[in-house]
Amino acid sequence: MTQLFENNPDKFKHTAPADARTRGQKGDWVTCAFCGAQQYKEELGEFLVCGVCGYGFRLGAAQRANMMTDSFTEWHADIEMTTPDFTGYAEKLTRAQAATGLKEAVLTGEAVIEHQRTALAIMDAGFMMGSLGAKTGAKLVALFDDATANDLPVILFSASGGARMQEGIRSLMQLANVSAAIARHREAGLVYIVVLTDPTMGGVTASFAMQGDIILSEPHALVGFAGRRVIEQTIHETLPKDFQRAEHMQASGFIDAIVARPELQHYLGQLLRVHQAPKEDAHV
Amino acid sequence: MSEKTPIDIVRASREDRFLARDIIAGLITDFQELHGDRAQGDDPAIIGGVGLLGEQPVTVIAINRGAEIAEKLQTRNGSPEASGYRKALRLMQQADRFNRPIITFINTPGAFPGKTAEEGGVGQAIAESILQSMSFKVPMIAVIYGEGGSGGALALATSNRVWMFEHAIYAMLSPEGFASILFKDAKRADEAAALLGLTPQELLTAHVVDRVIPEMDNHTAFYEQLRLDLKNEIADLQKLSTTELIAQRQQRFAQFS
C-alpha cells in the first residue's frame, strides 16, 4: 500500500499534471459544460462548481480523493496485466497515464470520511474517458474483495463512457467480473454506495454504477446506457436537453438523491454512520 | 466447422435461421409461457416460461426477434426494453426458489437504444440481472443462437456455461458501431469484425464460451442432439453443491482480469 496523504492540510501530494485540467491560471475563463455559462476559474470555488447551475466540473481522481476525504491510502497501485496488442492502444494508454498521473482509469484505496473507514474507488474520465478495461475491472474486484475481507463499506464515484473499445469482449466480461465481487460484498452484509458523476454511460451503467444499495449523483451528471446520437438515429426524434441527466433519471426513479459537491462529503459521512453495524455489546 | 470469414459469420448470425419459438418448441415439452414483469408491462422481445427438458423441469428465457414483420416491429428486432429484462429476472428468481435450472437463449443486436428504454432504466435492469445471477443456487446455461450484442446479451449470459451456435457472434459492440467509432467509417465493418474476435472459434479459444454447437439443416435432428447435450450438462452441474455452483459461475468471469 502507498500512503498518499494523511490528515495534513495539503492532503493530496499529487505532482502529476492531472490538475492542469481544472486548475488553470488566475483570470482564466471557463465554460460550464452543462449550462454554457462563462465565468472566471476562481469563481468556481474550491469545489469547482458552476456558479450559475451548480454543475460540478470534471475532476481528476486524485483531486476528487483530496476533496472528498479526510485521508486516503491507495491500494492495488501495482496490479499489472498484459494489454491486448491493438493498433495505437499502447500509445493511448501511455498518453492517458501521463495526463492523469494514474496507471488506470480508476483509483482505489481506503479512505477516512468524517472519522469512518471506507473502501473507495474513484474513476477518472480524463483517463481514456474512464473506460472499463481488464485492469480497471481487476482493480475494482480487488477493492471489493479486500473491503469484504476487512468488513468495510465501499463508496464508488463512477465516471465512464463504458466498455473500453480496444479490449473487445474482455472488456465486456468485466461487467460480470466486477458484479461477482459486488455480490460477495453484498453477501457479507456490507453497504455499497455509488456516486454518479459526469458522465456515467454504457456498460458501467449496465453494471456496477447501478448496483449500489444507495445511488447518489452530482447535479446534471449525464447518466445513461445508450448514447444520445444512437438513440436519436434509432427513434428519429430529437431528445430534450435534460434527457439522461441526473435530474431526469431521479424523476424516473433511479437515483436516491442528487447532492451538490460541497455537501457530498458530509452526506457520505452521514450514510456511513447509519450503516455502521451496532456493536454486539451495545445493550449490555 | 465453418470456413466462413468473421463478417460472413456476422451476416449469418442475423439471418433468422433459428427462431426463439421454434427452439423452445424443439427442445421443451409442456412449455407454458409466463408473461409480464409484475411492474409495468410485458415485453414481447423476451419469451419466458416453464417446461420440461426430458423429465427435468426447467425455466426457459429466450430473446425473441419475431418471425414476421409485425412481430419484428413489436420486438424491435429482438432488442429488449427494461421491462423485458425485469421479466427475465423475475422468472430467474422464481426458478431459484423452486430449484429449477435456467436455460437462456440469446439473439439480440443489443438492448433497445430508445427513449423509453432509457427512462425505464434499461441499464439498471441489466445491472440487476447480472448482479443477482451471481447468487442463484441453480444451474444456469446460456446459449447464444444468433447475435450476442453487448450488455443486452450479457444480461442473460452470466451463467455456469455459455454455448454458441456455429454461426452466432458475441461482441461488446456491433462491427458497424466499432468501425464507426474507431475508423470513423461504419462501412469498414468487415475489418472491425475481424478485429473484434467475435466468432465462436475465437471466443472458445478465449474461454468466453465453453462449447460451439454445430448447426444442422435437419432441425429435428439438431434439436434432438441439443436437448441431449443440455440434459447431460444440467445433470453434471447438479452434481455440484450450491456453494460450488455459485463459485464456479463467479470464477468463470474472474479469469478475464
pLDDT > 90 fraction of chain A, expressed in percent and rounded: 79
Mutation target for B interface from A104, A175, A229: give the one with most B CBs within 10 A: A175
Q: What pLDDT sits at residue A7? A: 44
Whether B254 sits inside 8 A of A224 (CB atoms) is no
pLDDT class of A28 with cuts at 50, 70, 90: confident
In A, minimum Cα distance to B194 occurs at A168
Whether A179 sits inside 8 A of B151 (CB atoms) is no
Give B-chain residues touching A189 at CB under 8 angstroms.
Answer: none
Domain spans in chain B, listed from the N-terminal domain onward: 11-252
Q: Hey, which CATH number is domain B11-252, 3.40.50.720, 3.40.50.261, 3.90.226.10, 3.40.50.2000? A: 3.90.226.10
Calculate the alpha carbon distances from A8 to A5, A11, A107, A181 in Å. 7, 5, 20, 33
Whether A234 sits inside 8 A of B118 (CB atoms) is no
Residue B203, C-alpha cell as written in the block: 471466443
Calculate the alpha carbon distances from A276 to A119, A151, B119, B171 in Å. 14, 10, 33, 41
Closest CB to A225 among B111, B177, B257: B111
Which residue numbers in chain B have pLDDT < 70? Answer: 1-2
Residues A279 and A232: their CA atoms lie apart, in Å, by 53
In B, minimum Cα distance to A235 occurs at B114
CA atoms within 13 A on the CB side of A64: 30
pLDDT > 70 fraction of chain A, expressed in percent and rounded: 88
pLDDT of A16 above 50:
no
pLDDT class of A26 with cuts at 50, 70, 90: low
Top-confidence residue, A82 or A187? A187
Closest CB to B206 among A169, A174, A253: A169
The C-alpha of A244 sits at a distance from chain B's nearest C-alpha, in angstroms, of 7
Residues B90 and B43: their CA atoms lie apart, in Å, by 13
pLDDT per position as a tens digit, A193-232: 999 999 999 999 999 999 999 999 999 999 999 999 899 9
Q: What pLDDT sits at residue A21? A: 53
The C-alpha of B250 sits at a distance from chain A's nearest C-alpha, in angstroms, of 6
Whether A235 sits inside 8 A of B115 (CB atoms) is yes
Whether A183 sits inside 8 A of B250 (CB atoms) is yes
Whether A86 sits inside 8 A of B123 (CB atoms) is no
Residue B215, C-alpha cell as written in the block: 448447426
Domains and CATH numbers, chain A: 2-14+59-275 (3.90.226.10), 23-57 (no CATH)
The residue written with cell numbers 459486488 in the block is A182
pLDDT of A186 above 90:
yes
Residues B250 and B231: their CA atoms lie apart, in Å, by 22
Q: What pLDDT sits at residue A18? A: 43
Give A-chain residues touching B170 at CB under 8 angstroms.
Answer: 169
What stretches of chain A show up as alpha helix (H) in DSSP? 61-68, 89-100, 134-149, 168-187, 202-205, 228-235, 246-251, 261-274
pLDDT per position as a tens digit, B166-222: 999 999 999 999 998 888 888 899 999 999 999 999 999 999 999 999 999 999 999
